[in-house]
Amino acid sequence: MVYGDGDGKLFLGFTGAVDVIAHELTHGVTQYAVPGGLVYEDQSGALNESISDVFGSIVKQWTLKQNVEQADWLVGAGIMAPSVGKALRSMADPGNQKLTWSGDDQPKTMAGYVENGDVHTNSGIPNHAFYAAAIALKGNSWDKAGPIWYKALSLLTANATFADMAKATAQAAALLYGADSAEQHAVQAAWKVVGVE
């Protein structure tokens, strides 16, 4: 896999952030964990990008030994040239250019969804759902939220929508922790935060 060393103007070396490395590797996991992979357009494409951000963020938090409260929830911090910005995206506050860079146009909720929009843009919505679930579940993102999201991959289809992912994560939480469990309720509430039910 080639990551590139950036142009020195917008990007620095792409291996300067462990979450970016894990993000790219997760695309390979998603291709095989989701039956048929996820079609790389529309909501299924945005889910593909989000899933990579989710597991990239989990790897970053694990590497830094951070719980969900300690994490900065920034994706790609360290690969942007200092004059450009701090990170590619924020899972805690998608589209907040003060935390990221001037090109961050991600919506946080379905109210800002861009029909036929770029997969990197619309991935802010499921990114924020994962963030909300992880914060509600507390502790380490790899303990409960991560396994729920991973289990959900096998429950998706190639053209999955955000609503399908919400259903799959709720189902995964029920399979892992029990129907009507606190974990399932936390996941369902997280998707409501971003306007997906």
**pLDDT tens-digit map of 120-158:** 999 999 999 999 999 999 999 999 999 999 999 999 999
Which amino acids are annotated catalytic?
Answer: 24, 120
Residue 179, classed as helix, strand or coil, is coil
pLDDT confidence tier of residue 8, bands split at 50, 70 and 90: confident
pLDDT confidence tier of residue 54, bands split at 50, 70 and 90: very high
Cβ-Cβ contacts under 8 Å for 174 (sequence gap 6 or more): 180, 181, 184
Domain with 70 in it: what CATH number?
1.10.390.10
Residue 185 included in any domain: yes
Residue 152 included in any domain: yes
Count the alpha carbons within 13 Å of 191 in the hemisphere toward its beta carbon: 19
Q: pTM score > 0.75 for this model?
A: yes
Q: What's the number of domains the chain is made of?
A: 1
Residue 7 included in any domain: no
Residue 13 included in any domain: no
Residue 4 included in any domain: no
Residue range of the domain that includes 153: 18-194
